[in-house]
Amino acid sequence: MKRFILMLPAVLLFFAACNNDKTADNAAVQQAAQQFLDNYTAQFVGLYYASAEGQWQLNTHIVEGDTVTSNAAARADQAYADFTGSVANIDSARKYLALKDQLTPVQVKQLETILYMAGNNPASAGEVVARRIAATNRQTELLYGYKYMLNGRQVSANDLDRILREATNLQEREAAWTASKEVGATLKDGLSALQQLRNSSVQALGYDDFFAYQVSEYGMDSKEMMELTEQLINDVWPLYRELHTWARYELAAKYNQEVPDYLPAHWLPNRWGQDWTTMVNVEGLDIDPQLAAKGPEWVMEQGEAFWMSMGFPELPQSFWDKSSLYPLPEGADYSKNNHASAWHMDLQEDVRSLMSVEANTEWWSTVLHELGHIYYYIAYSNPDVPPILRGGANRGYHEAFGSMIGLASLQKPFLENLGLVEPGLTTNDTMQLMKEALDFIVHIPWGSGVMTAFEYELYANNLPPDQYNAKWWELVKKYQGIVPPTERGELYCDAATKTHINDDAAQYYDYSISNVLLFQFHDYIAKNILHQDPHATNYWGSTATGDFLQKVMAPGATVDWRQHLRESIGADMSAQPMVDYFGPLMEYLKRVNAGRTYTLPEKP
């Protein structure tokens, strides 16, 4: 004992010296890693911006026969790909990640992100990357430059959507639906090429396939993601089954037809059967006339005003100057992407949106949704978030906040606040729940089922091109209970008519995850901040809600999304708040469907 006491100071000095050496070593490693990250970031941001500008031009000004724009976009994309996939950057990231215990968590996150970005463009894949870039840009031109024809005249995608929302003549509906699918045949060869090129690109860096690569950003493998999406379908299936049964009888009565076992695709108000909301008109909450009187510019202005009411800043002037917000004028000699999107051009202040805003309810909700993305960009463009990590906590977070605001923007107290409905208006709240379920619940079997399962088959199982349409309609029938109006052979490629299959591949489960997250966050805000019924909220003017959203958004991708969710709302990801939200509707539908024939199985 005495000898031990005498030796203790020496032992302490020894360990202190070791700790000092370790601290010094860590500091040196961190300094070296940071120098690499700083150099990488400086080049990355410039190349990212140039690539985004090229894609922006390609999506907003499509001229038939123009190769200048596509070639410029391809050059910018290639430069970005060469940099992110370079052997030097991959080797450096791997070298420092081998010392991750000596690095800061944010440094580790950046290095992991650098490797993830390299996975799509590894130099070791050689010319495959250049071919994939060219094929992607060609697919974009074919998709958004396509001229839809109906009864011998050119129509827009909005025209076809309007017919499917409003027309009651089944022949007219089928003609519009069929016209909307013609583009798929044009895109089939391109999709087949992209299937192989995308897989080859990521396999060069060790990923099994392109689906596995995209899933890895969640910290999951393909099996885990497929199990998660199947679980989401199982969670909502009892309600979806009731909605499907209700819709079969409702639409059969509307069109004066026999009740079908499965829903004919052209009976539904959406090209892909992913949104049935226009089947229900909630008396008193039809805001189309009020919006039409105010115009599309008012819709945009009120979208900004809403976010500002919660304490967020004005949109930068460059947003208004550089965005493409409204439909092209009639007779324009060029076309543009007709899918709404938000763009963070330089990962700093240049934020833009590509839309075709009209003054109707659908675009009202879409504008609020897209501005949710824009304000998320703005929130995490701060000094605490390195540009490499300026993204959502996971990809679903981005969609969750946009969709949550879209939901809130159509609740009665919110609409009363804006004068779009009369104060104290008596409405059918059950039908309002029905309308919401025809969006959010209907979307889960589509997003988690059809889209995710098809892209899993496409990339993980190398689905052959001569089976594209057969597999697509097999999945549509299984998960959505929908069938085509006529036989759809392999001449067609109906999957490719969905934009995401072409230009946002193997990520569609993001939307299902976002729907689950949005109800979790909405439930938390309603109950803990607004102290309001989740079915009847008004976010307008709630700076406390704005402060909460800012706190959740501001860290970007610097955080672990699971931990961030627990710290934000005190819960793990769960569909239970969504199921609970629609509980009253479930009871209603069981009464309405009593005695009717169910054709979907009790379990998918």
102 vs 116: CA distance, rounded Å: 21
pLDDT digits 0-9 by tens, 24-62: 778 999 999 999 999 999 999 999 999 999 999 989 998
Range of the domain at 437: 145-285+428-514+585-604
- Asked if residue 596 is part of any domain, the answer here is yes
pLDDT for the residue numbered 67: 86
CATH at residue 216:
1.10.1370.10
The percentage of residues in the chain with a pLDDT greater than 90, rounded to a whole number, is 84
If we measure between CA atoms, which residue out of 127, 141, 139 comes closest to residue 194? 139
Helix (H, G, I), strand (E, B) or coil at 354: strand
User: HEC states along 107-119?
Assistant: HHHHHHHHHHHHH
282, pLDDT greater than 90:
no
Number of compact structural domains in the chain: 1
Distance between CA 254 and CA 270 in Å, rounded?
16
Residue 599 lies in a domain: yes
Residue 22 confidence class, pLDDT cut points 50, 70, 90: low
What distance in Å separates the CA atoms of residue 484 and residue 317, rounded to the nearest whole number?
A: 46
Indicate if the pLDDT at residue 4 is higher than 80. no
CA trace torsion 111, 114, 120, 125 (10° rounding): -80
Instruction: Kindly report whether the global pTM for this prediction surpasses the value 0.85.
Output: yes
Could you tell me the two tokens for 243?
């909605």
Residue 342 forms part of a structural domain? no
**Secondary-structure percent of the chain, ordered helix, strand, coil, rounded to 5:** 65, 5, 30
Q: Is residue 438 part of a domain?
A: yes
CA-to-CA distance for 415 and 555, rounded, in angstroms? 31
User: What's the token pair of residue 572?
Assistant: 């793990």
Residue 185 lies in a domain: yes
Confidence class for position 19, pLDDT limits 50, 70, 90: low
| Sign (positive or negative) of CA dihedral 328, 330, 333, 336 | positive
Residue at 210 is within a domain? yes
Average pLDDT over residues 543-567: 97
Token pair recorded at residue 380: 């995490």
Closest CA to 327 of 457, 102, 155, 165: 155
Residue 68 lies in a domain: no
- Paired tokens of 141: 């031109």
Residue 263 forms part of a structural domain = yes
In this predicted structure, the answer to whether residue 255 has a pLDDT above a threshold of 60 is yes
